[in-house]
């Protein structure tokens, strides 16, 4: 009798365990409807990364997730942004991506700003079949590698180099000095200007100075640039390096009569005017967004939300972070799934609304594979503390709102 009771208890226990195991197995294979969909975010949120630009991309991505959840989430499920910090360094970026993919089980990754980090992380994403949208990295090789899971809706180094040369030609500036940081961003920018120059502006004469991003005094090199008497100085620099070069150029009088062109949107970043002072007056910046542009419904909502949440107008990097998350969201809805291959197919095969236009990622192999480039404009800051919306669009001619002025002309009124 005792043996039979013991046997019965064991059988019941086995059935119970099997039932529990079945529930666990079913849960992992068919997640509950309310289970959170996770989107990964990586950027250089701390030094030596370009942390102010990265912070704006993060703000945009967070705002997009907020708006998605306000609209009911995706596939009836809430969305969460899972953050990783690369500090602009390859090793940290790879570690962050690996964690997001293998531990957090993200559906896609957005946000990266530093090309060297993207070039490493995209291989991890390819290995695990996780879509990656590079929010602010322009290295041509990112898309020229023709990887299946990498996408980008940001200007490439080819786009920038072409625009700089076309702008110089438009202004009839033949002597172009390039001051660049010793990174893939700076050196790569020089290389693309030199490659594009024979086709775009063969009359131009170009000299380049590559300097250490770790230095705090660029006066010796800037004095050499001044002695060369260029018509235009192109700064291929990020954040702190840009601030120092801009201030020191004004201190030695280099930027008084010589046009200074920033390779990226630096002045709209929080704290930029405090960092450069009135040396920022007269700076011409490479922009892909201006508040005077006509935006999509998505772009209008992003701008409105930015004012509500952050108390200011957005800038280009923030809008890109917003729209990259929105592209992932549209792809998930189109796929009806968070299966990575289905998301990838939806990203490639469908028109996707972004802040400035509806885009389709290119499918022709080469540097524009899975690439959608925004427009490029040259905008000049003419007052201390000036917001981007009040800048003068100098180029291209069909978008111009005014003429270029030297720094001296502006200061003398």
Using the predicted structure, report yes or no on whether residue 270 has a pLDDT greater than 50: yes
- Residue pair 255/246 in contact (Cβ under 8 Å)? The answer is yes
Please indicate, yes or no, whether residues 139 and 250 belong to a single structural domain of this protein.
Answer: no
Residue 202 has pLDDT above 90, yes or no: yes
172 and 280 in a common domain: yes
Residue 235 domain flag = yes
Is 183 among the domain residues? yes
Residue from 113, 81, 86 nearest 97 by CA: 86
What is the CB neighbour count within 10 angstroms for residue 413? 4
Cα separation, 308 vs 59, whole angstroms = 12
Same domain, 215 and 112: no
- Categorize the per-residue pLDDT at 206 as very low, low, confident or very high, splitting at 50, 70 and 90: very high
Q: Exposure of 182 by Cβ count < 10 A (0-12 exposed, 13-18 middle, 19+ buried)?
A: middle
Q: Are residue 104 and residue 232 in the same domain, yes or no?
A: no
Q: Are residues 199 and 64 in the same domain?
A: no
If asked whether residues 282 and 399 sit together in one domain, one would say yes
Cα–Cα distance list, 371 to 42, 121, 143, 153 (Å): 20, 17, 7, 6
Does residue 127 form part of some domain?
A: yes
**Whether residues 310 and 336 fall in one domain:** yes
- In angstroms, the Cα distances linking 347 to 61, 97, 153, 181, 338 are 17, 20, 12, 34, 12
Distance CA 341, CA 279 (A): 49
Kind plus residue range of the DSSP H or E element containing 96: helix 90-102
Q: How many CB atoms lie within 10 A of CB 351?
A: 10
201 lies in the same domain as 59: no
Cα-based distances in Å from 314 to 19, 43, 214: 53, 18, 29
In a domain, 5, yes or no: no
* SS3 call for 285: strand
Both 269 and 393 in a single domain? Answer: yes
Tokens found for residue 56: 């704006």
More confident residue, 22 or 95: 95
Residue 368: inside a domain: no
Residue 145 inside a domain? The answer is yes
Domain span at residue 174?
A: 158-287+382-412
Q: What is the pLDDT of residues 68-116, one digit of tens each?
A: 999 999 999 999 999 999 999 999 999 999 999 999 999 999 999 999 9
In a domain, 320, yes or no: yes
pLDDT of 269 over the 60 cut: yes
Q: How many domains does the chain have?
A: 2
Q: Do 349 and 279 fall into the same domain? A: no
d(CA 189, CA 178) in angstroms, rounded, equals: 9
The pLDDT value given to residue 2:
39
Determine phi and psi for 42, rounding to 5 degrees: -130, 135
Q: Is residue 267 part of a domain?
A: yes
C-alpha distances (whole Å) from 43 to each of 50, 52, 323, 352 are 9, 10, 16, 23
Report how far residue 160's alpha carbon sits from residue 193's, in angstroms, rounded to the nearest whole number: 8
The CA-based angle 103-110-63, given to 5 degrees, is 105
C-alpha distances in Å from residue 310, one per residue of 9, 68, 145: 62, 18, 37
Are 241 and 302 within one domain? no
pLDDT at 31 over 90: no
| DSSP reduced 3-state for 362 | coil
Per-residue pLDDT tens over the stretch 131-141: 999 999 999 99
Domain of residue 184, CATH code: 3.40.50.2300
Q: Which of 316, 344, 359 delimits the end of a domain?
A: 359
Structural contact between residues 106 and 130, judged by C-beta atoms closer than 8 angstroms: yes
Give the per-residue pLDDT at 89.
96
pLDDT over 90 at 120, yes or no: yes
Same domain, 148 and 182: no
């Amino acid at each position: 009798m005792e043996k039979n009771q013991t046997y019965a208890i064991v059988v019941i226990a086995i059935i119970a365990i099997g039932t529990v195991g079945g529930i666990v197995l079913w849960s992992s294979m068919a997640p509950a409807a309310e289970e959170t969909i996770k989107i990964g975010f990586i950027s250089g949120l701390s030094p030596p990364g370009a942390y102010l630009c990265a912070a704006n991309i993060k703000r945009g991505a967070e705002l997009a997730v907020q708006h998605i959840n306000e609209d009911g989430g995706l596939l009836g499920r809430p969305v969460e942004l899972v953050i990783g910090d690369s500090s602009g360094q390859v090793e940290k970026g790879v570690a962050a991506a690996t964690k997001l993919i293998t531990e957090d089980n993200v559906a896609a990754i957005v946000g990266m700003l530093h090309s060297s980090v993207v070039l490493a992380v995209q291989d991890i994403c390819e290995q695990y079949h996780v879509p990656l949208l590079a929010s602010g990295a322009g290295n041509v090789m990112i898309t020229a590698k023709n990887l299946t899971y990498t996408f980008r809706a940001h200007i490439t180094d080819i786009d920038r180099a072409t625009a700089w040369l076309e702008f110089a030609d438009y202004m009839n500036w033949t002597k172009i000095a390039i001051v660049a940081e010793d990174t893939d961003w700076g050196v790569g920018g020089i290389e693309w200007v030199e490659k594009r120059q024979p086709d775009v502006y063969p009359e131009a004469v170009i000299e380049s100075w590559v300097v250490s991003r770790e230095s705090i005094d660029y006066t010796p090199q800037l004095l050499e640039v001044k002695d060369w008497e260029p018509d235009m100085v192109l700064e291929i620099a990020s954040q702190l390096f840009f601030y120092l070069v801009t201030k020191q150029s004004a201190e030695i009088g280099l930027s008084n009569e010589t046009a200074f062109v920033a390779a990226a949107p630096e002045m709209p970043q929080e704290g930029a005017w405090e960092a450069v002072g009135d040396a920022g007056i007269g700076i011409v910046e490479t922009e892909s967004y201006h508040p005077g542009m006509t935006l999509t419904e998505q772009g209008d909502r992003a701008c409105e939300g930015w004012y509500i949440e952050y108390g200011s107008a957005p800038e280009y990097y923030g809008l890109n972070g917003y729209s990259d998350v929105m592209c992932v969201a549209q792809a998930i809805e189109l796929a009806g799934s968070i299966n990575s291959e289905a998301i990838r197919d939806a990203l490639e095969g469908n028109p996707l609304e972004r802040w400035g236009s509806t885009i389709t990622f290119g499918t022709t192999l080469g540097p524009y594979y899975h690439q959608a480039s925004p427009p490029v404009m040259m905008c000049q800051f003419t007052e201390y503390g000036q917001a981007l919306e009040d800048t003068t669009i100098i180029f291209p001619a069909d978008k111009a709102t005014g003429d270029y002025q030297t720094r001296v002309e502006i200061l003398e009124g």
